[in-house]
Amino acid sequence: MKTTVFLALMLLPVLPSLAQLSAEQRMQDSVVGWWSNPRYDKLKPATDALGKRKTENLNRFVEWMKKSYTPVAGLGTSSRYIGKNGYGVSFLVWNVSHDKRWLDEKGHFRPIPEENTPFWVATNMVFGAFTIEFIQKSGKNMFTMQPDGYAKGDWVVKKRKGTDPRIHPNAHNYITWLNEWNTVYLAPGNKMPLVAVTKGELLQAAEDALESVAAEEKKTIASQWPNNLKAQEEAFESRKKNIDSYRVKIQALRDKHRATLNEPAVVRDMQVSMYSFGTDPDIFTPDKLQLEQKHYYPVYKIDPTLESRLGDEKPLWVAIAFPPETKEDGNQLYEMYTALSQNFNYEYVYNYFFDPEKVKGKPYVPANEEQLKARLNAFRERGKAAIQPVSNASKLTGNQVFFDDFSAGAAGGDPVNWFFRKQSAHAVLTKIPGQSGNWLQLGYFNPIWPTPDALPAAAQLYAGI
């Protein structure tokens, strides 16, 4: 149950009528930007023509992102990579602090280690997907994918309530997919080169892969008992019996689903292994809770006719992926989400790769650019503002030096001149039946305190008291 309080602090020191936010408080509204240090970019200069062309595209990804998104309350970094089947940029927004430990020798911010949130621009990459490794080792590439609308838990369902199920109108002309990531896929004709794997195909691939599982087990056993052939034979015989039991189970599944073997495979395990192919529970039969939360996973493979082109300069598709964030997650994460959903120019990037004549000679410009500028300017102006006197300071009596009846705000809004992080269940002004005026309802595990930083530590309030 949330606590509601009416606050009158009994303090000895006299507060100034105007005060400034502390540096850490201003951080929440500060436009910080991108780190100039390339520490996290490990890409080596390309020496071949193909690598150089891919690097040029990577540099464009970074340029486009920096024009679309300027980190607020955090520091941005980028890390380019070129892989066998695609290339891309892993971006991070990091927490920062004015604490000297997290400043460089010139007093500039540097990232606080391990406190970051990732987002991506990548070619030929599927987000929320998991390779079926034991099948891949036998030479066949198949993967499960969290379905569109997948929710990790009820808290995700609540978080999505009232949001656009296709992210934002800025992305509506393209493929959108919501699972653990919010992803916009840019592909020619809005058609991803993914092919649904059938139940029969998956069962056959799993059965074929058992030979490679057995070979791998034999190598493992040989390394464990290198000088004892008898021990190797006994250990392998035991493990081979287990592997063979899955041949029987796979055949049982084939018999059970004989009428639907040509239908797309949808499995109950996100990370499929040999042990997933049991008959109880049936790999193809999600339970009621899994169905409700979309915890079932279609199986795909790359279109075999296009798979050889994954290493080309021109991507088969481009994915822009970022975590779902709301205002409750704080300015840092919500600004990142807002910029990527509303200001990244998906139309330009699509045309650049798949209809280049439309953007030939035209520079990249963020979508909804004026809105982006206005939002950043609002943050900058907010950071300059001085703190105004608290409501009805004239009501101070006796040895009271701080009094606020919250009349400067409105029910359902923020308490004016109070500092708290707008994330999770935070403080809000409310009405109480039978009582006059506004009252402050505290959040959970989210401290709140008056912004004049002359107040002692005792003025800080937590939801637990």
Q: Please check whether residues 365 and 415 belong to one and the same domain.
A: no
pLDDT tens figures, 295-312: 999 999 999 999 999 999
pLDDT at 382 over 90: no
Mean pLDDT of the chain: 89
Q: What pLDDT is attached to residue 418?
A: 74
Q: What pLDDT is attached to residue 400?
A: 62
Q: Please check whether residues 48 and 96 belong to one and the same domain.
A: yes
pLDDT tens figures, 76-111: 999 999 999 999 999 999 999 999 999 999 999 999
Residue 462 — pLDDT band, cuts 50, 70, 90? very low
Residue 86 lies in a domain: yes
Q: What pLDDT is attached to residue 7?
A: 44
Given 345, 379, 413, the domain boundary residue is: 379
pLDDT at 21 over 90: no
φ and ψ at residue 463, rounded to 5 degrees: -65, -20
Name the DSSP class of 375: H
Q: Which of 38-42, 336-340, 378-382, 443-447 has the lowest mean pLDDT?
A: 443-447
Q: Please check whether residues 312 and 445 belong to one and the same domain.
A: no
Q: Which of 11-20, 74-83, 277-286 has the lowest mean pLDDT?
A: 11-20
Residue 41 lies in a domain: yes
The percent of the chain in helix, strand and coil, each rounded to the nearest 5, is 35, 20, 45
Give the residue-averaged pLDDT of 41-70: 98
pLDDT tens figures, 237-267: 999 999 999 999 999 999 999 999 999 999 9
Share of the chain above pLDDT 90, in %: 71
Residue-wise over 103-134: b if at least 16 C-beta within 10 A, else e?
Answer: eeeeeebbbbeeebbebbbbbbbbbbeeebeb
Given 348, 379, 410, the domain boundary residue is: 379
Q: Please check whether residues 114 and 27 belong to one and the same domain.
A: yes
The span from the CA of 55 to the CA of 43, in Å, is 9
The full DSSP string for 403-433 is E---TTS-TTSPPTTEE---BSS--EEE--T
Residue 4 lies in a domain: yes
pLDDT tens figures, 187-211: 999 999 999 999 999 999 999 999 9
Q: Is the dihedral of CA 351, 87, 113, 156 positive or negative?
A: positive
Q: Please check whether residues 13 and 32 belong to one and the same domain.
A: no
Q: Please check whether residues 455 and 322 belong to one and the same domain.
A: no
CB 308 within 8 A of CB 299: no
Q: How many domains does the chain have?
A: 2
The span from the CA of 26 to the CA of 28, in Å, is 5
Name the DSSP class of 102: G
User: In one letter, which amino acid is 150?
Assistant: Y
Q: What pLDDT is attached to residue 195?
A: 98
Q: What pLDDT is attached to residue 448?
A: 75
Q: Please check whether residues 456 and 344 belong to one and the same domain.
A: no
Q: What pLDDT is attached to residue 16?
A: 37
370-376 contacts: CB < 8 A, separation 24 or more? 371/342, 371/343, 372/68, 372/339, 372/342, 372/343, 375/335, 375/338, 376/31, 376/70, 376/72
Q: Please check whether residues 397 and 354 belong to one and the same domain.
A: no
* 95 SS3 class: coil
In 3D space, the residue among 268, 320, 306 whose CA is nearest the CA of residue 290 turns out to be 268
Bond preceding residue 281 cis, omega within 30 of 0:
yes
Given 333, 358, 379, the domain boundary residue is: 379
Residue 45 lies in a domain: yes
The span from the CA of 264 to the CA of 298, in Å, is 7
Residue 386 lies in a domain: no
Residue 329 lies in a domain: yes
Q: Which residue has the higher pLDDT, 289 or 66?
A: 66
Torsion of CA 204, 206, 211, 212, to 10 degrees: 130
Predicted TM-score (pTM) of the model is 0.84
Q: Please check whether residues 29 and 110 belong to one and the same domain.
A: yes
Share of the chain above pLDDT 70, in %: 86
Q: Please check whether residues 320 and 460 belong to one and the same domain.
A: no
Q: Which domain holds residue 372?
A: 23-127+181-193+305-379
Residue 138 lies in a domain: no
Q: Please check whether residues 355 and 408 belong to one and the same domain.
A: no
Q: What pLDDT is attached to residue 11?
A: 34
Q: Please check whether residues 121 and 189 belong to one and the same domain.
A: yes
Residue 270 lies in a domain: no
